Structure 1
Amino acid sequence: MKRIILALAIMTFCFLNAQNTKFGVKGGIQLSNLVGNVENETPKFGFQIGGFVEFKIAKRLFIQPEILYSTQGGKYERSSDDLVLKQELNSSYLNFPVMLKYYVIDKLSIEAGPQIGFLLDAKGKFEVRDGTEPLSYGSGSAKAVYKTENIGLNFGASYDFTKNIAAGIRYHSGMKNEIRYYPSGNFFDDPEQIRLRNNVLSISIGYKF
């Protein structure tokens, strides 16, 4: 509780110190991939959009909390003998990164920080094949196999083209398995639990007010 109060106090001070605070919006495209005990992972394109606040805390040092709507997911396979499970998952999150930014030179900054995300929705579709013969397939909600939140670390860089417009690139590495489930049906003998986490590469454009 003390840490929460301290964090709120620091943020309040930063808001009051308006000359060192900038608000902004950002959006961009991203490539996400599901990583875990599966095979033939294929990334999926998605997007992100949201806003941020940039607090100056030293000459070249800034803290930038953000709130982002993000679409993520991926495709993968899981095989056992002649059977192959093909799965595609699509999810949407409300993500809250908090980035520490350092300007190595004028206009060019590097950044790193934690992120927590909260699941909004998830859908999936699957197919089980025996060689070339389809045995089962389906689609629908996949929220039951997801955890309601995930955490990870972000690393990236950005460049300020003007005092208002900036572009950035960022890599998000999931730190915990956010997806856990056993393959459905009776096709796999003694199936192993599938465990996956999301890694995301994003490119964005931002505007500071």
Structure 2
Amino acid sequence: MKVTKKFALAVFLFTFVNIVSAQEATNTESSSGLGIKGGLNFSTVSKGKFEEGPDPRTSFHIGFLGEIPLVSKILSLQPEVVYSRQGFEKTVQPFLGSSYKVTYQFDYVNVPILAKLHLGKIISLEAGPQFGFKVSEKIESGNNSSLENEVNDFDTAIAGGVSLNFNGGAFLFGRFTQSLNEVIKDSDSKNMVFQVGIGFKM
């Protein structure tokens, strides 16, 4: 990871922790607080140069979140720091020979900053920007060939989803994120990730 990426990620983490800590110290009666979440990723990319269409990769994500009330109990800000395993698979059919699968594995530390709208006590909607920092990449080919692709280090996306909130701080959620920039340079392909999971907020 480049020095500039490390610095930017450190700033995000520092800001996230301090905003939530300050809010908790000044408003202990609100619903603000830290939480943990995790679940499954169903990730792929838009076609771009992969004209025949990529296949989804199933993996996981795990991370931390905070909720900061903005307008009473209706609207809040929810920053998160999430480790997310993404990527896609593609079946290659050569002109001669048997088909084989290529797996593209991209791991990110994602930082969504979402506006959260509470529709009553149970349902809430969330949407906002997400900033992703690539921490690793791996491309595996079923025919043992060597593949090289220049994967972008930074990913900007729009995220939106819904949560079901229960007494005691537990919640279920579903979310979709769509990248704004291409994942592999000169591919015109962008990350697309659907997430489902469970979490607990203090």
**TM-score higher than 0.5 here?**
yes
SS for the counterpart of 2:188 is: strand
Length, aligned pairs only = 179
- Equivalent position amino acid for 2:69 in 1: K
**Structure with bigger gyration radius:** 1
Q: Which residue of 1 aligns with 2:199?
A: 206
From 13, 27, 31, give the equivalent of 1:18: 27
Q: Distance in 2 between matches of 1:92 and 1:206?
A: 21
- Equivalent position amino acid for 2:165 in 1: D
TM-score, with length taken from structure 1: 0.76
What is the deviation of 1:79? 7.8
RMSD between superposed Cα atoms in Å: 2.6
SS for the counterpart of 2:23 is: helix
Residue 68 in structure 1 maps to residue 68 in structure 2: no
What is the deviation of 1:49? 0.4
What is the deviation of 1:46? 1.0
- Equivalent position amino acid for 1:114 in 2: P
From 61, 70, 82, give the equivalent of 1:48: 61
C-alpha contact 1:30 1:45 (8 A) present in aligned 2: yes
What is the deviation of 1:163? 3.2
Q: Which residue of 1 aligns with 2:115?
A: 100
* Identical-pair percentage: 26
Residue correspondence of structure 1 range 150-189 to structure 2 within 5 A: 150-180=155-185
C-alpha contact 2:76 2:117 (8 A) present in aligned 1: yes
What is the deviation of 1:13? 5.4
Q: Structure 2: where are the runs of 5+ without partners? A: 1-10
Q: Distance in 1 between matches of 2:195 and 2:146?
A: 27
What is the deviation of 1:58? 1.1
Q: Structure 1: where are the runs of 5+ without partners? A: 128-135, 181-192
Q: Distance in 1 between matches of 2:54 and 2:139?
A: 15
